């Protein structure tokens, strides 16, 4: 006899299918939390730590949340505190979190049934922000092939370099693979002691990692759109979707602008760029500008940077990467739409237009909601951290934005936080990865559709 749910004769499988159809965001959030719980329980085992004594509840939960939410904030040094088993568990959490729980569930369903059902399509569409269900199958293939290929390419580029630096073949392969997966998924976890600080002037290590972070931050819809148009169109750049054009151009603009600002402010800082040669300073500037996309790696001590650089990094982290990518933040398309709306208003245009297309008003309303809810989450969490700790505002703000945008950069205070502050950051990382709008949609019963509409009247703005 099939198991019933709530005494209403509805089987557990039927309930899951109904939830997938009616409340995909709520189901995604539930499954995502379940995966974090599994990784957390595995990290609590004695054999997950190098000492064999087992991690504390809060440290294991924080690490699991950071891994699955592909953040990279750590309360214990990844290279020395966790055992080889712990490293594997963390890497699995990164991989699952990067692909997306719903995407992974759809892939498993496709592998078993050899076809993609409506429920799986709805789940994947919710996770990947795909508008047409017919694109989901192609998107799934692109996700698994592209992610694995890029991760392997990064690993193959890093492997000979680690060998040349003195690692044994097995160690070099593991470090290369870990960095490959961590960089493409914008996770920021490092398997080597002292992270990337010893490689601050090593182009053969930093460039592949930076490329992996940047490509991962663009998002799978962008990758799918580029690959599809390159095959089908002679002038494929013109045929790219508006989303792809906005994501790529805005990401490049933020990368260049961030590199110039960070380079200018850190150029003579003896604790960061000051002692480097000209070429290394350029590399460090670009690398430091790529990482706020949600990468979280650092080649120089973040705590030694000027507070002006912290402020620029805060802004870059809050924007984050592309939609349906491994990056967090409000997303670059949201930022672009807001800027375009401001420009249209300044010019007196009734419509917001770019690349020969008009952006719908509901997209602008959604962008405003995303920015407002993101800023609210940062504000509330920052207030909580200031209340629970003795941190300066600049330190608390940097840590909070890094957690919300799932970046992983830190001024070095994460390990010193009290348990209450760690729980606050855990919740913030979860909200940042699931998405504020998805979270609100998961909590809402259903969309409200009004039959009667009130008369229109304009309030005074500004």
**∠ CA 103-295-104, rounded to 5°:** 10
Is it the case that residue 176 has pLDDT exceeding 80? yes
3-class SS of residue 412: coil
Q: Compute the mean pLDDT over every residue in the chain, rounded to the nearest whole number.
A: 85
Query: In which band, very low, low, confident or very high, does the pLDDT at 442 lie, cut at 50, 70 and 90?
Result: low
Give pLDDT tens digits for 369-410: 889 999 999 999 999 999 999 999 999 999 999 999 999 999
Residue 219 has a pLDDT of 83
Residue 328 has a pLDDT of 86
Give percent of the chain above pLDDT 90. 59
Residue 101 has a pLDDT of 57
Total-model pTM: 0.88
Residue 206 has a pLDDT of 96
Give pLDDT tens digits for 338-359: 999 999 989 988 888 888 889 9
Q: Nearest CA to 345 among 368, 324, 317, 373?
A: 368
Residue 235 has a pLDDT of 75
Cβ-contact 124, 136 below 8 angstroms: yes
- Per DSSP, the residues of 416-449 read GS-HHHHHHHHHHHHHHHH-HHHHHHHHSSS---
Query: In which band, very low, low, confident or very high, does the pLDDT at 324 lie, cut at 50, 70 and 90?
Result: confident
Residue 187's contacts (CB-CB under 8 Å, 6 or more residues apart) are 67, 70, 71, 72, 94, 97, 98, 181, 296, 326, 408
More reliable by pLDDT, 179 or 325: 179
Gap between the Cα atoms of 389 and 68, Å rounded: 26
Average pLDDT over residues 323-348: 90
Gap between the Cα atoms of 441 and 434, Å rounded: 11
Is it the case that residue 429 has pLDDT exceeding 60? yes
Residue 67 has a pLDDT of 95
Q: Which pairs with CB-CB distance under 8 Å and at least 24 residues apart come from 252-259?
A: 254/289, 254/293, 254/316, 254/319, 254/332, 255/214, 255/286, 255/289, 255/290, 255/293, 256/289, 257/289, 258/288, 258/289, 258/292, 258/312, 258/316, 259/285, 259/286, 259/288, 259/289
More reliable by pLDDT, 355 or 221: 355
Is it the case that residue 446 has pLDDT exceeding 70? no
Q: Which of 65-69, 214-218, 309-313, 321-325 has the lowest mean pLDDT?
A: 321-325
Give pLDDT tens digits for 16-48: 555 555 555 666 677 788 999 999 999 999 999
Core vs surface per residue 57-94: b (16+ CB within 10 A) or e: ebbbbbbbbbbbbbbbbbbbebbebbbebbbebbbbbb
Cβ-contact 371, 258 below 8 angstroms: no
């Amino acid at each position: 006899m099939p198991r019933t749910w709530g005494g209403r004769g509805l089987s557990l499988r039927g309930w899951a299918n109904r939830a997938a159809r009616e409340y995909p965001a709520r189901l995604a959030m539930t499954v995502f939390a379940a995966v974090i719980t599994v990784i957390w329980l595995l990290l609590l085992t004695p054999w997950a730590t190098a000492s064999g004594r087992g991690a504390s509840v809060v440290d294991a939960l924080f690490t699991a949340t950071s891994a699955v939410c592909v953040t990279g904030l750590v309360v214990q040094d990844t290279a020395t505190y966790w055992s080889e088993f712990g490293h594997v568990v963390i890497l699995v959490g990164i991989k699952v979190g990067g692909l997306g729980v719903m995407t992974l569930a759809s892939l498993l369903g496709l592998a078993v049934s050899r076809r993609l059902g409506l429920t799986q399509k709805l789940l994947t569409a919710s996770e990947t922000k795909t508008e047409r269900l017919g694109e989901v199958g192609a998107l799934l293939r692109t996700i698994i092939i592209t992610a694995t290929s890029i991760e392997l390419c990064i690993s193959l580029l890093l492997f000979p370099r680690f060998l040349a630096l003195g690692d044994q073949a097995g160690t070099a392969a593991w470090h290369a693979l870990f960095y490959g997966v961590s960089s493409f998924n914008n996770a920021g976890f490092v398997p080597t002691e002292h992270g990337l600080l010893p490689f601050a002037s090593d182009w053969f290590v930093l460039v592949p990692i930076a490329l992996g972070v940047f490509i991962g931050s663009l998002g799978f819809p962008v990758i799918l759109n580029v690959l599809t148009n390159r095959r089908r169109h002679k002038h494929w750049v013109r045929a790219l979707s508006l989303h792809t054009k906005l994501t790529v151009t805005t990401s490049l603009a933020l990368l260049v602008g961030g590199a110039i600002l960070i380079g200018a402010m850190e150029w003579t800082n003896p604790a960061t760029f000051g002692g480097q040669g000209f070429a290394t300073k350029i590399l460090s500037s670009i690398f430091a500008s790529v990482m706020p996309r949600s990468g979280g790696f650092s080649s120089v001590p973040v705590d030694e940077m000027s507070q002006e650089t912290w402020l620029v990094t805060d802004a870059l982290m809050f924007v984050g990467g592309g939609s349906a990518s491994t990056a967090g933040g409000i997303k670059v398309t949201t930022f672009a739409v807001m800027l375009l709306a401001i420009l249209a208003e300044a010019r007196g245009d009734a419509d917001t237009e770019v690349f020969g297309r008009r952006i719908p008003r509901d997209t602008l309303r959604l962008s405003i909601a995303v920015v407002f809810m993101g800023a609210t989450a940062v504000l509330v969490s920052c207030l909580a951290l200031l209340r629970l700790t003795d941190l300066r505002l600049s330190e608390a703000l940097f840590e909070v934005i890094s957690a919300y945008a799932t970046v992983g950069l830190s001024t070095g205070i994460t390990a010193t936080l009290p348990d209450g502050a760690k729980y606050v950051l855990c919740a913030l990382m979860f909200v940042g990865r699931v998405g504020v709008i998805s979270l609100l949609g998961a909590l809402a019963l259903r969309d409200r559709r009004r039959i009667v509409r009130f008369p229109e009247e304009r309030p005074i703005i500004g």
